[in-house]
Amino acid sequence: MNAILVDQVTAVYVVLAVSSAIFGGIFAFVWRLSRRARLPAKARAMALGAQLLMWAAVAVLAVTGVVGSVDTVLILSLGALLADWLIVFSCLWRLDKASKA
């Protein structure tokens, strides 16, 4: 049997945490590949910084629980995840170009 043991706002945060973990994991893998492809250290550091800031923002949101309405948390989660995907995509794009050069 499955039952949700948390309120709906926390449930949205869990969805955000799960999806952010997925994009974060993919980012970590791509970041490792970019080291292998000898991408410039500055570009790699910037990408890592962006990803860490993104996670920090998500953690602050979830831990402080400043937002109490389900709809607002849905919008915030959506924004956070889109930013996460953009970070992953830009890393993939740079790596793609660097590995062809």
Partner 1 sequence: MPRISKLLKMVLLVWIAVVIVAAFLYAPPDKALGQAGRVIIFHVPVAWVTVLAFMVSCVHSVLYLRRRRPQDDLKASSAASLGLVFAILATVTGSMFARITWGSFWNWDPRETSILILLLIYAAYHALRMAIEDEERRGRLSAVYAIVAAVTVPFLVFVVPRVYFSLHPDIITPTGGLDMGPRTLQVFLASLAGFTGLFAWLFQLTVRTGAMSLAAERRSAS
Contacts with partner 1, residue ranges (CB under 8 A): 1-6, 8, 10-12, 14-15, 17-19, 21-22, 25-26, 29-30, 33, 36-37, 70, 74-75, 77-78, 81-82, 85, 89, 92-93, 95-97, 99-100
Which structure tokens are listed for 34? 């970019």
Q: Residue 53 or 97: which CB sits closer to partner 1?
A: 97
Amino acid at 72: T
- Helices and strands of the chain, counted as H and E runs: 3, 0
Could you please report the per-residue DSSP string of 19-48? HHHHHHHHHHHHHHHHHHTT--HHHHHHHH
Q: What is the closest distance, in whole angstroms, from the C-beta atom of residue 72 to partner 1 in the complex?
A: 12
Q: What is the closest distance, in whole angstroms, from the C-beta atom of residue 95 to partner 1 in the complex?
A: 6
Q: Residue 52 or 70: which CB sits closer to partner 1?
A: 70
Q: What is the closest distance, in whole angstroms, from the C-beta atom of residue 42 to partner 1 in the complex?
A: 19
Identify which of 5, 3, 2, 14 has the alpha carbon closest to the alpha carbon of residue 70. 14
